[in-house]
């Protein structure tokens, strides 16, 4: 696989305008969740490594839901990079971009979406070959206004805003020319996951999948 970070991301194939950011607790049927998201049109799924159940969920989705492209989010250490790769994650999403973590993520051979919230972080990652970055925590650090402001001085960069992005403001982000997709947890509400309400998840995913960049 090429060492070019952007080429790795593009090798995943087309990414929907909304990437579900999923927190899976014990007892949640990860496979049914993944299938519901895919039926709704969201087949790129970020499972965050914030619970003990996360790695097992990634492993089961990767092995048993072939229509899904599942990755690990909130990856904060080289050890988590290795663990995510071992269980079959196809991409990594980092909440920040410390050098040692970025090195490990690049060495994994997987597609990587490192996060930036300042212009200096954005430019530093661009120097390393990244062209698509996670923008986190989006709403807390300036949201749409900040991304609009950096568009002219950093025309080669694209962003996936995450953190405070919701059904209410997703269109505002996607209307920006430097935002091809957003990350959102609203398509996987905790009560729906707890209750196994996959019809609701599918409906929320279908609504999100109807969004598109530039509109």
- List beta partners, residue 44: 69
Contact predicate 8/2, CB 8 Å:
yes
Interatomic CA distance for residues 55 and 77, integer angstroms: 14
Q: Say how far residue 37 (Cα) sits from the centre of its chain.
A: 14
Asked whether 147 and 141 are in contact (CB, 8 A), the reply is no
Query: How large is the angle between the packed helices 54-64 and 30-39, nearest 10 degrees?
Result: 60
Mapped onto helix, strand or coil, the DSSP state of residue 154 is coil
> Rounded to an integer, what distance in angstroms lies between the CA atom of residue 180 and that of residue 184?
14
| 46 noted as active-site residue | yes
CA distance 167 to 115: 22
Which of the following is catalytic: 46, 64, 79, 207? 46
CA 150/CA 142 separation, integer angstroms? 11
Report the distance separating Cα 119 and Cα 78, nearest Å: 25
Active-site residue (options: 134, 139, 202, 207): 134
Which residues form the catalytic set?
A: 46, 134
């Amino acid at each position: 696989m090429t060492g070019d970070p952007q080429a790795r991301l593009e090798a995943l194939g087309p990414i929907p305008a909304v990437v579900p950011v999923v927190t899976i607790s014990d007892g949640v049927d990860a496979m049914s969740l993944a299938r519901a998201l895919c039926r709704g049109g969201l087949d790129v799924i970020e499972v965050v490594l914030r619970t003990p159940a996360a790695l097992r969920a990634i492993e089961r989705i990767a092995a048993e839901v072939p229509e899904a492209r599942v990755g690990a989010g909130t990856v904060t250490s080289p050890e988590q990079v290795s663990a995510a790769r071992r269980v079959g994650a196809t991409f990594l999403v980092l909440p920040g971009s410390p050098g040692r973590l970025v090195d490990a993520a690049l060495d994994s051979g997987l597609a990587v979406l490192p996060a930036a919230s300042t212009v200096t972080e954005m430019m530093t990652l661009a120097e390393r070959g990244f062209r698509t970055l996670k923008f986190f925590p989006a709403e807390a650090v300036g949201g749409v206004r900040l991304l609009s402001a950096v568009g002219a001085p950093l025309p080669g960069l694209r962003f996936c805003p995450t953190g405070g992005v919701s059904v209410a403001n997703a269109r505002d982000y996607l209307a920006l020319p430097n935002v091809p997709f957003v990350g959102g947890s609203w398509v996987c509400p905790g009560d729906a996951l707890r209750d196994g309400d996959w019809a609701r998840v599918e409906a929320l995913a279908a609504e999100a999948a109807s969004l598109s960049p530039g509109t």
